[in-house]
Amino acid sequence: MSKVALVTGGTRGIGHAISLALRDVGYTVAANYAGNEEAAAAFTKETGIKSYKWNVGDYDACVQGIASVEAELGPVDVLVNNAGITRDGMLHKMTLAQWREVMSVDLDSMFNMCQPLIAGMRDRGFGRIINISSINGQKGQMGQTNYSAAKAGVIGFTKALAQEVAKKGVTVNCIAPGYVDTDMVSAVPEKVLEGIISTIPVGRLGKCNEIAHCVKFLADENACFVTGATITVNGAQYIAG
């Protein structure tokens, strides 16, 4: 029986590429999504990967969603925490709702998704948890105090959990993408996009499959000595020490 991988935000953008990459190397993949029914249905029709709807910012919804996945497909061996949102604004204008919504989806989801799964991974002596952070969680970004704080928290969460489960055959790692050619990034005004690209030494946006390739590596059984790491994939835009 093939191992089961669960990818949050797995039907669009980077998550779509991750789901396909894991499927193509033999995983049975479950793709979580939050609200875009049309995109999820098209994704499942195109790929044959089952999609499951729940809000990763809601602990009870995560418990129920994970239970549904495991009842249909078997125990989850690989968890990719990819789901994330932005609600940008300068802090002096940011609302409490903007702050809390980003924290809920981007950071609380780490607990909501990992806590129900971690005991099973420990008991089975195998697990791969891969958390998607961001360049802006490493360097900060004006107008994104909520997002930058949440994504920095993802890195700290990864380091702590990696130490807790290292002896149990479970690895916990983080990927911090730079600016990637997704619908969200491509939708910014052309001059803003040109300004972003001008700060990337490689001279272009990243590609979704480049992030997916890193996930595929970290999910592999042979990546067992890589844990607690943060892999930066940003074209040298920000080099973390």
Q: What is the pLDDT of residue 155?
A: 98
As a whole number of Å, the end-to-end CA separation of the chain is: 41
179 is catalytic: no
User: Residue 79: what are its φ and ψ, rounded to 5°?
Assistant: -115, 125
Q: What is the pLDDT of residue 183?
A: 81
> What is the C-alpha to C-alpha distance for residues 234 and 72, in angstroms, rounded to an integer?
37
CATH superfamily of 4-230: NAD(P)-binding Rossmann-like Domain (3.40.50.720)
Low-confidence ranges of the chain (pLDDT < 70): 1
Q: What is the pLDDT of residues 133-147, one digit of tens each?
A: 999 999 999 999 999
The closest alpha carbon to 12, from 63, 69, 60, 84, belongs to 84
Q: What is the pLDDT of residue 2?
A: 87
Q: What is the pLDDT of residue 114?
A: 98
Q: Which amino acid, residue 34?
A: A
Q: What is the pLDDT of residue 240?
A: 85
Catalytic entry in 33, 52, 147, 179: 147
Copy the structure tokens of residue 120: 């099973």
Q: What is the pLDDT of residue 79?
A: 99
